[in-house]
Amino acid sequence: MTSPVSPLRAAVNVDVDGLYLYDRIHGLTGRSGNANDFDAAHHDPRAWTKGVPRFLELFARADLRATFFVVAQDLAHAEVRAVLADVVRAGHEIGSHSSTHPYDLSRLSAQDQKNELGRARAVLQQASGQAITGFRAPGYVLSSQLLETIAEVGHSYDSSRFPCPPYQLAKAAVIGLSRLTGRPSGSVPEPPGVWFGPRTPYFEQLPSGRGLIELPIGVVPWLRWPIIGTSAIAAGEVGRLLLAPALQRSDWVNFELHAIDLIDYVGDDMPARFIKQPDQRVALRNKWPVLLKTLEALAASHQVATLGHWAGRLGHG
């Protein structure tokens, strides 16, 4: 299916965010990643045990290799380690999504950031047998210090920039609203400079002299409409058809998904509070074909490879 001659680049990736993180972002539990209320070995593993295996099946059907961004503390769970082994066996890339997924990572001290990222990278390398070169920040939020830390602990690329005004505007509104209701959200807003930043991969020279490759999350050229699982699922089959011509011509597609995208609210017996999540309002039997058709179309028009592959290509010329 993959077109080896296509000059159009695409990558597909999954943030494996545990269910506990959705409670944290909605202000239901402590906001710090060092939350003492988290029991890593006994968290609800459904993002891993229900969501991830379906992604493996989806990617096998679309015949592509993806990147899974993993929160290292989840590996304390035996069932999670078993699924991770399946991911590695299927030839996918593992990237770091930090140790504990603190939404305020960008605001932590340099030393705390280093502990978070250094530990995650060591744990993930040990568990996967892969060199971990990629990082995605919790909530996509970076800072100049965090970029330095990402490079310092040994990553060669970051994939957290999301130059998407519609998303950033909605996020700022949600954060503002949650402040008004006295239930502070765990997430941090991004300055508007990021909203209109580069849309395609680039090399960033950091003040320390270190360099980092940035692989921004996908937006449609000009419109800057998000090309991510959440929006694709919400838009459904009609949205997919409307977006298809723009997607087909886009010179860089970084299609970001979440493990929860392939969880079925009814069939997987999800806790009632998850109905707030847009992807949980659509049944698995309806969202699966939308994602499969999107990926099959992408594989027909683009060269689909892991983020690590594209970072390597950019790093060598």
> Residue of minimal CB distance from Zn ion?
17
Of 94 and 247, the one with the shorter C-beta distance to Zn ion is 94
Contact present, 258 and 17 (Cβ < 8 Å): yes
d(CA 182, CA 180): 5
Of 15 and 279, the one with the shorter C-beta distance to Zn ion is 15
Residue 232 CB, nearest approach to Zn ion (Å): 18
Q: Which residues contact 98 (CB under 8 A, 6 or more apart)?
A: 33, 71, 72, 105, 116, 117, 120, 135, 137, 138
Residue 233 CB, nearest approach to Zn ion (Å): 17
Tokens representing residue 268 in the block = 């997987």
Of 74 and 148, the one with the shorter C-beta distance to Zn ion is 74
DSSP annotation string for the chain: ---TT---EEEEEEEE--HHHHHHHTTSS-SSTT-TT--GGGS--HIIIIIHHHHHHHHHHHT---EEEE-GGGGGSHHHHHHHHHHHHTT-EEEE--SS--TTGGGS-HHHHHHHHHHHHHHHHHHH-S---EE--GGG---HHHHHHHHHTT-SEE------HHHHHHHHHHHHHHHHTT---S--PPPHHHHTS-SS-EEEE-TTS-EEEE-PPPB-TTT--B-BHHHHHHHHHHHHHHHHHHHHH-SEEEEEEEGGGG--TTTTT--GGGGGSGGGSS-HHHHHHHHHHHHHHHHHHSEE--HHHHHHHHHT-
Residue 140 CB, nearest approach to Zn ion (Å): 8
Residue 71 CB, nearest approach to Zn ion (Å): 7
Of 98 and 294, the one with the shorter C-beta distance to Zn ion is 98
Residue 101 CB, nearest approach to Zn ion (Å): 6
Residue 110 CB, nearest approach to Zn ion (Å): 22
Of 17 and 279, the one with the shorter C-beta distance to Zn ion is 17
Q: Within positions 259 to 278, which residues make up the interface with Zn ion, using CB under 5 A?
A: none
Residue 17 CB, nearest approach to Zn ion (Å): 4
Residue 143 CB, nearest approach to Zn ion (Å): 17
Residue 291 CB, nearest approach to Zn ion (Å): 18
Of 15 and 261, the one with the shorter C-beta distance to Zn ion is 15
Binding residues for Zn ion, total number by CB under 5 A: 2
Of 15 and 190, the one with the shorter C-beta distance to Zn ion is 15
Q: Within positions 5 to 24, which residues make up the interface with Zn ion, using CB under 5 A?
A: 15, 17
Q: Does 74 bind Zn ion (CB under 5 A)?
A: no
Of 15 and 264, the one with the shorter C-beta distance to Zn ion is 15
Of 212 and 217, the one with the shorter C-beta distance to Zn ion is 217
Tokens representing residue 71 in the block = 């929160």
Question: By the criterion CB under 5 A, which residues form the site for Zn ion?
Answer: 15, 17
